[in-house]
Every structure is written in C-alpha cells, then in structure tokens.
Amino acid sequence: MIEPSCHVRINWEHFRRNIEELLKRGHDLMPVIKADAYGHGVRKAAAVLEDMGIGWAAAGTIQEAAEVRNAGFSGNIVALLSRAPEKEDVCLACEKRLSPLIHNWEGLEAVARAVRDINAPLGIAVKAETGMGRLGFRLEEMEDVADAIAAEPRLSPIVQVSHFAVADDPAEEEYTKLQCDVFYRAADIMHRKFPDMRCSLGNTAGLVEGFTRKDDICRPGIALYGYDPMFGTAHEGACGPLLPVMEVAAPLISVHPLHKEESVGYGRTFTADSERLVGWVAIGYADGYRRNPAPGTCMCINGVRVPVIGRVAMQMTCVDLTDLAETPAPGDAVYVLGGPGNAVSAQELADWWGTIPYEVTCLLGKNRIEE
C-alpha cells in the first residue's frame, strides 16, 4: 500500500473515555466496531475493549469478526453482516467462537447443515424484524424459528438482535416503543425454549433514552467515536460529554498569490474578486474528502479556520489564506478534522457534505496507517 499524503491519528484514550461515559447508563454494552471500527481501526478497537473487560463486540462480516478475535478479544463477537453462510464461514465461526447473525430461513438452514457436517457446536445471533424493513424474522415466524433451532442441538441462540429505525428522533418515540413491544414479544417466544438467550435492541440513542429493558445489551455506535446521534434534536447532549477520536491532517504543498479575476482549479468555480493568497493542501476525493463541499467548508491551520475554495481535485484542495495573521509555508500541517484551536468536527464536515458523521470517519479513516 502506498502511504497517503494525509495522516489520520486515532486517540484511543478518547475512545476509552467515551465507553466509560456510556457504561454509566448501567447496561452491558456490545460496542459496534464494524466497517473497521467506522474507519478508526478494528484491531486496536478490539484491544481496548478487551483491556476494559467488555464482554461483547459487534463486527461486520465473519472475516472481520475473526480479526477481532485475532486481536485478542475474548468475549462474544457477533458478525452483523451475515449472508447465508458458506460451510467455510461456519468452520471459521466455530473455530474462532464467533456468532453469525441469522436473519432468514436460508441462513438458518445453511448454518444448521454446516454444523451437522462438521459436528461442531455454534452459538448464533437471531435477528428479529421489528420495523426497520431490512433484515430479520417477523414476529409471526418466531415460534417456527425457535422450533427449528431447537431441532438442531449443535445450535444455540446466544442473543436476539434487532435495530431501531428512529430512536434518535424524539418526535418518533411512539414508533420506537412499538419496535420494543414487537422485539420483546419475539424474545418471550424464544425464551420458552432458550431461557438463557440474551437480548440486544438498543443502539446509542436507545441506550441514552432508556427505551430498552435493563438486561438489554446495548450496541453503541457513533458515540464510541465522539459524536452525538441526538445532534440537532431537542435531546442533543443526552449522551453526556463525548470526545472525538479521529483527527486528520495533510501538508500544505503550495502557497502563492491569486490576483483579482484569476480562478483556481477545475471548472473555474472560484474566481477572486480581490487580491488573495491561496494554498494547496495534499488531500482530495481519492483520500475521501468530498469533491463538492458546500459554501462555508473550512480547514484549520495553526488553530485558525481557512475557507476551502474551488473544486476539490483527486489529491489536492485549495484554501484561502488571505486573512491569516501569519503566512504559512509549504510543509505546514493543515487539519481537515480535529487538531488544535478552532477544530473542525466530523459533525460539521457531515453538514457541509450533506451526510452524517458515520460516513465522514469511514471515508477519511481509509487513509489510516497502523502505528
């Protein structure tokens, strides 16, 4: 892999502090570290969880779940992104003590065949459809699901899972409560045959809003990485103080004047209306920095914000340096996310890009070089 010009730094102490803040809610947690821990690095995330004594983790694929195990995490690992598993997937799950998420009959039949063939026990997670309209068994199927699992003694459901659709929107509280009702009715059916099965319904918003039962294993996601899923609602701040985990910097590679009526970049989308000083930063859309940011998009140099101007190129972005008290030089660090002073947050970048912080960290985190 060729090292990118931009540098992504992960503050794992902040990750730890965010988990400690969420643990104050009194629930067991299953931190979601899928998609390479939202771009932050799944192996180091797994090591922190192990060091903290966390008993559950949620990864993406079976292969990513195996990476979590190989990183030293000793607790239960649920692979949330489970298709109908191939026999080799089930072998890996049995070998590494992973729990694939089973959400349809094809998957349940495939995993049952595989454990019979290899004659090995496997704990699985069962997905209930409660109103997300995505994956899972419907409430009216749960009796048959329980019977089918009970018919294969090598299988045991260790946890039932579902996913809130709008728990982060206080105006949709009634829908969230409806999802809770469906989920726990499904769990009551499963518990008749599997009384030790755990339940995991709450996401970050569900955790802080108190929707789930006290024995629910909540699955926080974006809050682990320092961002509030309730942002912009009447309940903003309900998660408590959170610390951003990722910062991204890139070097300034050119500083030069831009005269009145001159333009910058492809498409000539910015033309100077006065004498300006501009700089080019070594980050672009190939590095996950969006090509067409909204007006007002900024980066930071020496803790001071500078506007992004013109069209973002593949590996370069132009900033307006005119109003800086001190002129920076090529090689100086430009902070795209985080850093000292008036730092840009992932929430702000998300607003400028018309997206959510999840996408921001996943896009920029792909430039992370393990240290």
DSSP result, 283-322: --GGGT--SSPPTT-EEEETTEEEEEES---SS-EEEE-T
Model pLDDT, residue 193:
98
Residue 24: CB atoms within 10 Å: 8
Does residue 78 contact residue 101 with C-beta atoms inside 8 Å?
Answer: yes
pLDDT at 129 over 90: yes
Where would I find the beta strands (DSSP E) of 134-245? Answer: 155-161, 198-200
For 349-371, what is the mean pLDDT?
A: 89
Model pLDDT, residue 37:
97
- % residues pLDDT > 90 (the chain): 94
pLDDT at 120 over 70: yes
Model pLDDT, residue 207:
93
Residue 240 to residue 24: CA distance in whole angstroms: 10
Closest-CA residue to 13 (of 45, 43, 42, 56): 45
Q: Residues 202-214: pLDDT tens digits?
A: 999 999 999 999 9
Report phi then psi at 315, rounded to 5: -135, 20
Considering the chain, what is the average pLDDT of its residues? 95
pLDDT at 39 over 90: yes
Catalytic one of 177, 260, 266, 366: 266
Model pLDDT, residue 3:
67
- Where residue 82 falls among pLDDT bands split at 50, 70, 90? confident
Q: Return the DSSP state at 242.
A: -
Model pLDDT, residue 45:
98
Q: Residues 274-323: pLDDT tens digits?
A: 999 999 999 999 999 999 889 999 999 999 999 999 999 999 999 999 99
Does residue 57 contact residue 83 with C-beta atoms inside 8 Å?
Answer: no
pLDDT at 70 over 80: yes
Q: List CB contacts of 124: < 8 A, sequence separation 6 or more.
A: 99, 100, 101, 102, 111, 149, 155, 156, 157, 158
For 253-263, what is the mean pLDDT?
A: 97
Q: Return the DSSP state at 153.
A: T
For 105-129, what is the mean pLDDT?
A: 96
Closest-CA residue to 350 (of 225, 187, 198, 201): 225
Length of the chain: 371
34 classed as catalytic: yes
Domains of the chain: 12-225 (3.20.20.10), 246-344 (2.40.37.10)
Residue 148, burial from CB neighbour count under 10 angstroms (0-12, 13-18, 19+): middle
Model pLDDT, residue 130:
97
For 261-278, what is the mean pLDDT?
A: 95
Does residue 93 contact residue 122 with C-beta atoms inside 8 Å?
Answer: yes
pLDDT at 371 over 70: no
Model pLDDT, residue 370:
61
Residue appearing with tokens 């755990």: 198
**Per-residue tokens: 94:** 């049995």
Does residue 312 contact residue 270 with C-beta atoms inside 8 Å?
Answer: no
- Residues of the chain by 3-state class (helix, strand, coil), percent to 5: 35, 20, 45
Q: Residues 45-55: pLDDT tens digits?
A: 999 999 999 99
- % residues pLDDT > 70 (the chain): 98
- Where residue 241 falls among pLDDT bands split at 50, 70, 90? very high
For 143-148, what is the mean pLDDT?
A: 98
Residue 22 to residue 83: CA distance in whole angstroms: 30
Stronger pLDDT, 10 or 366, i.e. the higher one:
10
pLDDT at 363 over 60: yes
Model pLDDT, residue 1:
52
Q: List CB contacts of 2: < 8 A, sequence separation 6 or more.
A: none
Catalytic one of 34, 227, 289, 335: 34
Instruction: Give the helix/strand (H/E) hosting 355.
Output: none
Residue 20 to residue 260: CA distance in whole angstroms: 53
Model pLDDT, residue 170:
94
